Amino acid sequence: MITFNEIPGVEIPIFLLLFMGFTVGIVGGFIGVGGGFLITPALVVLGFPASLAVGTDTTHIAGKSIISTLRHSQLGNVDLKLGLIMAIGTVVGAEGGVRFIEWLEAKGIDEQVVLVASLILMTSIGLFTFRETMAARRRMKELKAAGKAIPRDETSSGLAKKLQSINLWPMIWLPTSRVVVSFWTVSAIGAATGFLSGFFGVGGGFIRVPAMIYLLGMPSLVAVGTDLLSMIFSAGYASVRHGMEGNVVALAAFIMIFGAALGAQIGALGTAYVRGPAIRLLLVVAVAFGAAGAGVKLADVLTDESIGLLDTASKIIMFGGMGTLVSLIIGLVGVGVVSQRRGVAPAWAEALVVTR
Closest CA to 48 of 90, 24, 26, 20: 20
In the chain, the DSSP E strands lie at: 2-3, 11-12, 171-174, 179-182
What is the distance between the alpha carbons of residues 255 and 60, in angstroms, rounded to a whole number?
9
Chunk the chain into consecutive blocks of 10 residues (it has 356) and report each block's average pLDDT, rounded to whole numbers.
Answer: 78 87 88 74 80 86 88 90 83 80 76 79 86 85 80 74 81 86 85 76 72 85 88 80 87 90 89 91 86 80 75 77 88 92 86 84
What is the distance between the alpha carbons of residues 1 and 35, in angstroms, rounded to a whole number?
23
If 0-12 CB within 10 Å is exposed, 13-18 middle and 19+ buried, where does residue 139 land?
middle
Q: Which amino acid is at 223?
A: A
Residue 351 phi, psi (nearest 5): -90, 5
Which residues 6+ apart lie within 8 Å of 119 measured at CB? Answer: 291, 294, 295, 298
DSSP lists the bridge partners of residue 2 as 12
Distance between first and last Cα of the chain: 47
What is the distance between the alpha carbons of residues 38 and 301, in angstroms, rounded to a whole number?
17
To the nearest 10°, the Cα dihedral for 323, 329, 334, 335?
A: 120
Q: How much is the pLDDT for 305?
A: 67
Q: How much is the pLDDT for 203?
A: 59
Closest CA to 327 of 68, 29, 39, 27: 27
Q: How much is the pLDDT for 201?
A: 57
Q: How much is the pLDDT for 157?
A: 65
SS3 of 295-341: HHHHHHHHCCCCCHHHHHHHHHHHHHHHHHHHHHHHHHHHHHHHHHH
Closest CA to 33 of 153, 222, 196, 204: 204
What is the distance between the alpha carbons of residues 258 and 73, in angstroms, rounded to a whole number?
21
Q: How much is the pLDDT for 50?
A: 79
DSSP one-letter string for 8-62: TT-EE-HHHHHHHHHHHHHHHHHH----HHHHHHHHHHTT--HHHHHHHHHHHHH
Residue 135 phi, psi (nearest 5): -65, -40
Question: pTM for this structure?
Answer: 0.80
